[in-house]
Chain A
């Protein structure tokens, strides 16, 4: 019985991974220039009058329903924009290289949500600064909350 269970786990787990990898590749494989240096100056930035920060939980990259609502409001602007820049950030806790990766996961999460809503993936640029560029340099819960973010800019 135990071995049978093991077999089931063994056979299901790769399937799950296979699917997940396939989907994410489908969604984003069209764009490998995500990390290219952005050629857009801040003067070209489109003012949407929307909050441009999406917040996250500690060590998490998933979007809350509030965040999803906020991103949805961006969709119309995003469809008309020339380029969209998503900048992922983390709070100071945890290690720097891991946070660099986590910031990227956060930005990608926002990117994928925009794509689902019909924004062309080719114009979305993603970058992570990890914990290197905090908004608030203090070491407390309030500061950390502000620093765990993705910044959205439209051009």
Chain B
């Protein structure tokens, strides 16, 4: 993959034959960004710009220029000079100032410059309560990110995960994507599994063993109210909310035969979608809510299959490797991420639905539960170090790898929330 391609097209020896050089790899470095402390009469100026810097560098997509290397500290367009940043090899600069600031209310004006192009690429302003500076920083970070990358920022999204401080303690937690503001949604002495967000961000579905067998609960994030799917006491697992928020795919097992079912959230009806006597589990919805990926061992080893919900037509997706499981779609619906095992080693892999090749992207050996950022640019997954579970992530361009803040206890099964609106 890494071999850079040399393609020169030879246009049939004609006089116009022109050399064509192709560039496809790009730099191994992430772009360098300078966030100049926002001009303010109060302390908040610096704290907002440093929050923005933390956001933009969170996943390693940007490198920040340290404050002490800056040659000037502009806060307005008229006192900004490109040459000050050109010599520092900076790619982008963010500056800002407070139009209004008091202990109640703040209004910030900010600018983003593309240094290589000598161009102002974004001018914006945002206002809000003084106490909500984190939220305001996230709004600015998202807008800056979009102006540079063309992709929606994910700095205001959340992550759900299972935290197990000890063997008899299980918690479902939700935190901001940077690991701050952790909230415990539910606690139990019996195992908890498989958190899944509703696309309207109002509910979380998960599996709880509190009654002695796996059962699916849908919990309202605001009222805390819990509702379970009534399935005659059969064990059920792996709930996944459809992107259109109308259905919940899950796995129900009667007499040791787990199959994929869909629970219609409107009319509360359950339909069965696989019938094979082998294991069928780990459903994942396509972005258009029409197809499901799932794991089945019907061929003898776990492999990924794609099911068209309306017709129950099943197509095998993975062919290589002795263990392919827990796949999910990228937002484009054309690529998938999965757990790829070979000879007892488990990595996170990506694959085009329509090609055979699986591209492994993680390096540790017990990697599982990949979850994709809503903009499709980052994958977070669970892995282990000395039996301690923690969350790691990477950007799909391969430039950055990171780990999420360590928690007290084993962390697993991350689930990235959809976009906040």
Contact = CB atoms under 8 A, between A and B. Distances in A.
Query: Direct A–B touching in the complex (beta carbon < 8 Å)?
Result: yes
B368 to A, nearest CB: 5
Contacts of B297: 59, 98
B234 A97 contact: no
Contact of A95 (B232, B301, B326, B384): B326
A138 interface: yes
A37 B234 CA distance: 10
Interface in B255-282: 255-258, 275-277, 279, 281-282
B346 interface: yes
Contact of A97 (B209, B233, B238, B323): B238
Nearest to B280: A101
Given A35-B235, A95-B369, A58 B279 contact: no
A4 interface: no
A51 interface: no
Contacts of B254: 32
A130 B238 CA distance: 12
A133 B255 contact: no
Q: How large is the interface on A (under 10, 10 to 19, 20 to 34, 35 or more residues)?
A: 35 or more
B37 interface: no
Contact of A96 (B255, B323, B384, B413): B413
Interface in A107-124: 107-109, 111
Interface stretch (A17-25, A41-49, A64-72, A76-84): A17-25
B341 A93 contact: yes
A138 B235 contact: no
A25 B366 contact: no
Contacts of B214: 35, 100, 128
Given A35-B213, A92-B366, A97-B281, A104 B302 contact: no
Contact of A92 (B233, B258, B384): B384
**Interface size class, chain B:** 35 or more
B282 A132 contact: no
A119 B167 CA distance: 34
A31 to B, nearest CB: 8
Nearest to B325: A95
Contacts of A38: 212
B368 A96 contact: yes
B234 A35 contact: yes
Contact of B256 (A28, A36, A95, A97): A28
Contacts of A132: 191, 193, 209
Contacts of B191: 129, 132-133
Contact of A105 (B256, B275, B276, B412): B256
A104 B254 CA distance: 10
B302 A97 contact: no
Secondary structure type dominating chain A contacts: mixed
A101 B413 CA distance: 17
A95 to B, nearest CB: 4
A95 B304 CA distance: 13
A102 B413 CA distance: 18
A88 to B, nearest CB: 9
Nearest to B214: A100
A59 B302 CA distance: 9
A127 to B, nearest CB: 5
B413 A129 contact: no
A123 to B, nearest CB: 15
Contacts of B137: none
A34 B341 contact: no
A130 B258 CA distance: 13
Given A17-B277, A32-B234, A36-B233, A100 B193 contact: yes
B387 A137 contact: yes
A130 B213 CA distance: 11
A135 to B, nearest CB: 11
B237 interface: yes
- Which of A24, A101, A102, A127 has the most C-beta atoms of chain B within 10 angstroms of its own C-beta? A101
Interface of A: 17, 20-21, 24-25, 27-29, 31-38, 58-59, 92-98, 100-102, 104-105, 107-109, 111, 126-130, 132-133, 137-139
**7 closest pairs, A vs B, by CB?**
A108-B256, A37-B212, A28-B255, A132-B191, A35-B213, A35-B235, A95-B326
12 contacts: A25-B255, A31-B255, A32-B254, A92-B366, A93-B346, A93-B366, A95-B295, A95-B339, A97-B193, A98-B279, A108-B255, A137-B387
Interface of B: 167, 191, 193-194, 209, 211-214, 232-235, 237-238, 251, 253-258, 275-277, 279, 281-282, 295, 297, 301-302, 323, 325-326, 339, 341, 344, 346, 366, 368-369, 384, 386-387, 412-413
